Chain A
Amino acid sequence: MDPIRVITQNCVGCKLCVKSCPFEAIALTGPLVQGRTDRNTAVIDLGKCTLCGACVEACKRYNAIVITRRTFKGQDLSQYSGIAVFAEHRGGKVASVVPEIIGAARELAKQRSCTVSAVLVGKNARALTDELLSYGVDEVWMIDNTDIGDFDEDVQADLVTEILLEKKPEVFLGGGTVIGRSLLPRVAARILTGLTADCTELSIDPETQLLKQTRPAFGGNIMATILCQNHRPQMATVRHKVMTPAEKVASPQGKVVELSHIKVPKSKLQFLEFVEEKTATVNLVEADVIVSGGRGIKDPKNFDIIEKLALATGGAVGASRAAVDAGWIPYSHQVGQTGKTVKPTVYIACGISGAIQHLAGMKGSDMIIAINSDPNAPIFDVAHYGIVGDLFQVVPELIRRLETPG
């Protein structure tokens, strides 16, 4: 049977489903609506349909569209409780995303009236337990063993899986870091449960008590809320700097549970060395964030606040023609008609008037933020957000705010 079908008897040809479908997969080309000669019923093109369910939602009134889902057998849901987080760490330091996912976990735990635990595996892991407990986790499920190298992901996956199978948390969260995005999918594939990547929002649905996982798709043009109904744990990753970090508790009450009975296998991966690299010159054209300086920078040495802001946003440094011509920054950074054309997610224009030649190089940016002392500067016409002010005050303030957590 097709996973989605139209119940023609219920369809009144109102077109609400057609309008709701983001993929133009529905057309009123079916048999005539019962009792009418001027309207046809809906037909769904399975070649275009993604089973997103928008039409089912739109047709709530008539219930003419049905998606049949018989997911393969999941786990016994009643056995699962608690919110667990993956305590990622490397080089003896807890990953900076961890306090944030603990923060999210604690919020969820409140809604579910349950506990928050941290899954911690590694060599000399016990040195990190105090920090985790200080963020208010109730339990740290720990395996401390010298055979668990920072990069022995296969061993970590084995152990994390064992811990989850044993402890049965209802939800398991991890950071959307390089390691998190590699480790958690492996664990999810082993346990046979669902994993949603890069969530920007997590909450408990009051009705179903399920974890609602919201994330962007299509470069952020669309947001999707996802559920993992029949399988446990409901897994999700969250990127750094998205969730609010947990506040430290004055007197931590949590405890460490050492799971030394779980055998630690040998890794098939061999770690050779780690080479640290200061953020390599982020390729301007590829950068997600670009901070550009223009004539308003006034002096070459002032360009360093642009560089600092770029660093704080993890972006690249761009410049208008005026700044390049004045010799303040090399031509390779020039954005505009005669420079590079860029399409970053965020473009921050500082002291740039917005001459058409500059706009030609960056007007395709998803979001443009302009900082300029002239309220009539043309850049404000294309900017999504603008701050009218002295950039030498605004930019340092912005840097300060971005660098302090919270």
Chain B
Amino acid sequence: MAVLGQNAYHTETVKIAVKRRPHVNYFLTEEQTMIRDLAAQIAREKIAPRAAELDESGEFPWDVVETMGKSDLYRVFIPSEYEGLGGGCFEMCLAVEELSKACGGIALCYAASALGTIPIILFGSDEQKRKYLPRLASAEIIAAFGLTEPNAGSDAAGIKTTARADGDYYVINGTKQWITNGGEASIYTVIALTDPTRGVRGSSAILVEKGTPGFEFGKKENKMGIRASATRELIFQDCRVPKSNLLGKEGMGFLVAMRTLDQSRPGVAAQAVGIAQGALDKAIEYSRERQQFGKTISSFQGVQFLLADMATQVEAARALTYAAARAIDGGEKDVSRMSAMAKVFASDTAMKVTTDAVQVFGGYGYMKEYPVEKMMRDAKITQIYEGTNQIQREVIALNLIKESVRGAARAASGGNGSATAKK
């Protein structure tokens, strides 16, 4: 170091690891740290400066998507055979959390593409994967997932969109609602009924490309929050797609949907954790600057306790999120309970923490010029989409009860589930 005068050679070797990680150490691998730090850098340098402006205009941030693509973020969760980096849910969550700290809406442009990519990764044929994954990995194109309909939200089984077989094609008719990345994505996984008589068991997952005749988009929704992300209706009117676009087999539609959502749900949790952390950081900073009654408001126990609770809850949400992600990546068979718990707790935490953050900012927090009201508006959706928190609670409860039933049955049959008769 030291260039005093012009002694140019000796560069100081102080490589202080500036501790920017205030929270618990998750002992990430070097690659995971790379992903997290790069996402954090993009968040800090490219997203944070644009967040307020894009929230206002609702314009889709293609330039940020391009930057994230060039940095290989979209490559993270795609298998290496298809030009991905072979990371899993955990790595994707690392990226989503960091991006969300700067803006939950822009982060969603990344996370929703992951949601649309996962069906292809899980159920696509080699040919389908080869066709789409490399381009998704480089973010040359982005993806979207279409399940929800105007009359089928929580009751996803109530979908009405049909995909009638006609020779080598499916003809799709129906409407999907509130689809994130709708209109911007190039490839859509659409869940439609190939056999309406069989109800849910008659649904299939079909890939539809933007630009296919008969596939239109509704107007862009004007949302409360996550406004930088694009939300549109998908309108299918006699839209013909080749049968080769079917993912997996006919009748697997719901399975595709459920498995996909299980895998992506920790991503929503990670988004919520990121939004909450971002709000918490701002609140702490502000509390140290704002002075009333001759001292900083961080001196008041009321504020201190609020901040402490906020931080503890964010930490707990984070732990649940990454535990669920790890379980998924580890190949755990039944991940729905963990995944649901992570999502419900993280999103409720995000709502509470962002609301409290606005409170800490006081009157200023209510003003659009300060960043926290946006975070509160952004947080709300995490309690609603990808399965409302009410549905999540039902999933958790049913899962608990099922397990209890299984446990009792095991005990009744003499332990270990072995078929030995009662002694």
Interface residue ranges, A against B (CB under 8 Å): 22-23, 47-52, 196-197, 215, 217-218, 222, 224-226, 337-338, 356, 360
Q: How many A-B residue pairs have CB under 8 A?
A: 45
Residue from the list A50, A197, A338 in contact with B2, Cβ < 8 A: A50
State how many angstroms separate the Cβ of A230 from the closest Cβ of chain B: 16
What total of chain B residues lie within 8 Å of the partner, measured CB to CB?
15
**Which A residues are in CB contact (< 8 Å) with B5?**
52, 196, 215, 217, 224-226
Which B residues are in CB contact (< 8 Å) with A49? 10
The 9 A-B residue pairs whose C-beta atoms are closest, nearest first, are A50-B2, A224-B5, A226-B5, A338-B369, A224-B4, A50-B10, A52-B4, A50-B7, A217-B4
Known contacts A338-B370, A356-B291, A360-B289; A48/B4 CB under 8 A: no
Is B28 positioned at the interface, with any CB of A under 8 Å from its CB?
no
Q: Beyond the given A50-B4, A52-B2, A215-B5, please list 5 additional residue pairs across the A-B interface where CB-CB is below 8 A.
A: A49-B10, A52-B4, A196-B6, A218-B3, A356-B289
Chain A residues with CB under 8 Å of B370's CB are 337-338
Task: Give the residue of A22, A48, A197, A338 whose beta carbon is less than 8 angstroms from that of B13.
Answer: A48
Binary contact track B4-46/A, C-beta < 8 Å → 1, others 0: 1111001011000000000000000000000000000000000
At the interface, yes or no: B1 with Cβ under 8 Å from chain A?
A: yes
Residues of B within 8 A of A360 (CB): 289
- Chain A residues with CB under 8 Å of B4's CB are 22, 50, 52, 217, 222, 224
> Which residues of chain B from 337 to 385 have a CB within 8 Å of any chain A CB?
369-370
Tell me if A23 and B369 are in contact (CB < 8 A): no
Please, how many angstroms separate the alpha-carbon atoms of A210 and B289 in the complex? 52
For B12, list chain A residues within 8 Å (CB).
23, 48
B290 CB–A CB distance under 8 Å: yes
A196 CA / B5 CA spacing, docked (Å): 8
Task: For residue B13, give the distance in angstroms from its CB to the closest CB of chain A.
Answer: 6
Which residues on B sit within 8 Å (CB–CB) of A52?
A: 2, 4-5, 7
Alpha-carbon distance A203/B4, docked complex (angstroms): 19
Q: Are A47 and B7 in contact (CB under 8 A)?
A: no
Q: Choose one: A48, A224, A338; the contact of B10 (CB below 8 Å).
A: A48
| Contact, CB under 8 Å: A22 / B2 | yes
Say how far B250's CB is from chain A's closest CB, in angstroms: 55
**Complex formed: what's the CA distance from A174 to B418 in Å?**
94
Q: Which of A48, A218, A226 contacts B6 (CB 8 A)?
A: A226
Write 22 A-B pairs (CB below 8 A) sorted by A numbering.
A22-B2, A22-B4, A23-B2, A48-B1, A48-B12, A48-B13, A49-B10, A50-B2, A50-B3, A50-B10, A51-B7, A52-B2, A52-B5, A52-B7, A217-B4, A217-B5, A218-B3, A224-B5, A225-B5, A337-B370, A356-B290, A360-B289
Chain B hits for A197, CB < 8 A: 6
Show the binding face of B for A, using Cβ within 8 Å. 1-7, 10, 12-13, 289-291, 369-370
Looking across the interface, which residue of chain A has its beta carbon closest to that of B368?
A338
**A50 contacts which chain B residues (CB < 8 A)?**
1-4, 7, 10
**A48 to B290, alpha carbons, bound, how many Å?**
42
Distance A360 CA – B3 CA, assembled complex (angstroms): 31
**Complex alpha-carbon distance, A196 and B6, angstroms:** 8
- Could you tell me the distance in whole angstroms from the C-beta of A342 to the nearest C-beta in chain B? 14
Task: For A196, list chain B residues within 8 Å (CB).
Answer: 5-6
Which residue of B is nearest A46, CB measured?
B10
A325 and chain B: residue at smallest CB distance: B369
By a CB distance below 8 angstroms, the chain A residues around B2 are 22-23, 50, 52
- Name the residue in A50, A224, A226 with the highest tally of chain B Cβ atoms < 10 Å from its Cβ: A50
Identify the closest chain B residue to A53 (Cβ). B4
Q: A residues within 8 A CB of B3?
A: 50, 217-218
Complexed CA–CA distance, A48 and B9 (Å): 11
Alpha-carbon distance A19/B12, docked complex (angstroms): 18
Specify which chain A residues have a CB less than 8 angstroms from the CB of B13 in the assembled complex. 47-48
Shortest C-beta distance, A86 to chain B (Å), equals 19
Q: In the bound complex, what is the Cα–Cα distance between A338 and B369 (angstroms)?
A: 6
List the B residue with the shortest CB-CB distance to A214: B5
Q: How far, in whole Å, are A345 and B395 apart by their CA atoms in the complex?
A: 59
Residues of chain B within 8 A (CB-CB) of A337 are: 370
Chain A residues with CB below 8 A from B7, complex form:
50-52
Alpha-carbon gap, A52 to B4, bound state (A) = 7
Note all chain B residues with C-beta closer than 8 A to A48. 1, 10, 12-13
Distance to closest chain B CB from A211 (angstroms)? 13
Minimum CB–CB distance for B338 against chain A, Å: 40
CA distance A50 to B7 in the complex (A): 7
Output the nearest chain A residue to B52 by Cβ-Cβ distance: A338
Contacts of B10 on A, CB cut-off 8 Å? Answer: 47-51
In angstroms, Cα B34 to Cα A146, docked, is 58
CB distance from B363 to the nearest CB of A (A): 13
When chains A and B are docked, how far (Å) is the Cα of A63 from the Cα of B329?
Answer: 65
**8 Å CB contact of B1 from A23, A51, A356:** A23
CB-based nearest B residue for A215: B5
Return chain B residues, CB-CB under 8 Å to A226.
Answer: 5-6
A356 to B370, CA, bound (A): 14
Q: Bound state CA distance, A52 and B2, in angstroms?
A: 9
CB distance from B257 to the nearest CB of A (A): 42
A356 and B285 alpha carbons, distance in the complex (Å): 12
Which residues of B are found within 8 Å of A47, using beta-carbon distances? Answer: 10, 13
Which of B3, B5, B291: most chain A Cβ within 10 A? B5
In whole Å, how far is B285's beta carbon from the nearest beta carbon of chain A?
Answer: 9
In Å, the complex CA distance between A51 and B8 comes to 11
CA distance A73 to B12 in the complex (A): 29
Cβ of A224: which chain B residues have Cβ within 8 Å of it?
Answer: 4-5
